[in-house]
Amino acid sequence: MFPIIFRRLALAVPLLVIVSAITSLLESFVPGDPARTILGINATQEQYDALRATLHLDKPFAEQYWLYLRDILHGDFGSSLFSGESVLALIGQRLPVTLILVIGATVLSTLVGVLLGVYSATRGRVSRRLFDIVSLLGSALPNFWLALMLVSLFAIRFPIFPATGYTPFAQSPGQWAAGLVLPVIALSIGGVALISKITRDAMLSTLGLDYIRTLRASGVRPASIVWKHALRSCGLPVATAIGITMIAYIPGTILVENIFTLPGLGTTVVDATNQHDLPVVQGVAITFTMLVIAINLLVDVLYSLLNPKVRVA
């Protein structure tokens, strides 16, 4: 188990270097002069030189990148070219919303996906056919469009939930939760389709295995065969599907946050992209990369817990 974790962590370092390098490299293509853009035309030469120095714009590219990397390792992600706000502070403030969306959607899609998958694997041909169609639509229809349909249905036609906006938890837990219902559902639709399909396929092939027949022949109860023995064997593929889903939810939040105007990293990065605010884009890119690394690590740990051969050895 530890070698796997070690390998993941060893991969994390070059990955962060590469992601920051790509974004920094892109920065050198920026048309015009970022310092000029930020300060406007009324700034003095001293102000201008000072800003160029803080952004390391007075140095050659390689040195710029090295200084940027050093700053990152010191926890300094620079500051927004527009608001001047510290990028780290901005991320710290916006990250929780994104995390809640990702975690909420993962929990929801895991529960619904596994239940649906097991159900359709143990029922007859008709339900299997129906399931195929629903799962295809869930995975193929664009989730921003499904999100809009949810809004038009449950916020406009039947105003049950708020269409947009975010209420901080401290202000009103009830409204906070109500505001998250539609975004979490919208985000989780593709994941439900994937997890249920993988669960169903894994379940079907497991139920055809010899040891399931042995258990049936020994008189073990069907409920125990399905939920204890067969589902346990589906652990690895299902864990993989959950990992893939969770990683897909990270960029998925970009659209969902923008549709529901939630103050998360997704809205932040789209605004920054429109404003050519590269330090913010860079900061979010690195945060997302670290999230992906963390999720992969989590899946690896889950893997070794689920595989008896690894656990014993």
Partner 1 sequence: MTAADPPVSVSSRKWTNPFAGIWRRPLTAAALAVVLTVTVAVILAPLLAPHPPLAQDLLHARGGPSASHPLGTDELGRDVLSRLLYGGRPALLGVGVAVSVYIVLGMSLGILAGYLRGWTDRVIVGLMDVMLSVPAVIIMLAVLAIFSQSNVAAMLTLGFLSAAGLARIIRSSCIALREELFVDAARVSGLSAARIMARHIFPGLVGLLLVQMCLFSGIALMVQTGLGFLGLATPPPAPSWGGMVGEASQVMEQSPSLLLISGGLIGLMSVAFGLLGDGLRDLTQDRRQGTGSRSQRPVPVAVAKDTAEASDTPPDAGVLAVRDYSIAFATPQGPRTVVDSVSFTVNTGEIFGLVGESGSGKTVTGLSLLGLLAPNGTVTGGSAWLAGRRISGLPERDLQRIRGSEIALVSQEPMVALDPNFTIGSQLSEVVRRTGAVSGGKDAVGQRVRELLSSVHLRDPDDIARRHPHELSGGMLQRVAIAMALAGSPKVLIADEPTTALDVTVQAGILDLLRSLRDERGMAIILITHDLGVVADSCDRAIVMEQGRIVEEGSVEDIFYRPQHPYTKKLIESTPSIARTEGRVA
Q: Does 173 bind partner 1 (CB under 8 A)?
A: no
Quick check: helix, strand or coil at residue 79?
strand
Min CB(162)–partner 1 separation in Å: 15
Min CB(26)–partner 1 separation in Å: 5
- Number of Cβ within a 10 Å radius of residue 148: 14
x/- map, 183-212, partner 1, by CB under 8 A: --------------------------xxx-
Q: How many residues does the chain have?
A: 313
Scored b (16 or more CB within 10 A) or e, 223-234 reads: eebbeebbbebb
Q: Does 130 bind partner 1 (CB under 8 A)?
A: no
Single out the residue of 141, 177, 298, 302 in contact with partner 1 (rule: CB under 8 A).
141
Single out the residue of 137, 165, 168, 173 in contact with partner 1 (rule: CB under 8 A).
137
Min CB(205)–partner 1 separation in Å: 13
Cα 254-259-263 angle, rounded to 5 deg: 65
Q: Show contacts with partner 1 in window 225-264 (CB under 8 A).
A: 229, 232-233, 235, 247, 250-251, 254-255, 258-259
DSSP structure class, residue 152: I
Q: Does 223 bind partner 1 (CB under 8 A)?
A: no
Separation between Cα atoms, residue 197 and residue 36, nearest integer Å? 53
Q: Which residues pair with 79 in a beta bridge?
A: 86
Q: Show contacts with partner 1 in window 30-59 (CB under 8 A).
A: 30
Q: Does 292 bind partner 1 (CB under 8 A)?
A: yes
Q: Does 219 bind partner 1 (CB under 8 A)?
A: yes
C-alpha distances (whole Å) from 48 to each of 51, 84, 128 are 5, 14, 66
What are the start-end ranges of the E strands in 27-117? Answer: none
Single out the residue of 41, 126, 170, 217 in contact with partner 1 (rule: CB under 8 A).
217
* Closest of 262, 203, 186, 205 to residue 238, by C-alpha: 203
Query: The tokens of 183 are what?
Result: 């975004």
Separation between Cα atoms, residue 307 and residue 304, nearest integer Å? 5
Single out the residue of 15, 50, 67, 99 in contact with partner 1 (rule: CB under 8 A).
15
The residue among 172 and 224 lying less far from partner 1, judged by its C-beta, is 224
Min CB(31)–partner 1 separation in Å: 8
Please check whether residue 210 is in contact with residue 233, taking contact to mean a CB–CB distance below 8 angstroms.
Answer: no
Query: The tokens of 26 are what?
Result: 């892109």
**Which residues contact partner 1 (rule: CB under 8 A)?**
11, 14-15, 18-19, 22-23, 26-27, 29-30, 136-137, 139-145, 148-149, 151-152, 156, 209-211, 213-222, 224, 229, 232-233, 235, 247, 250-251, 254-255, 258-259, 269-270, 272-274, 276-278, 281-282, 284-285, 288-289, 292-293, 296, 308-309, 312
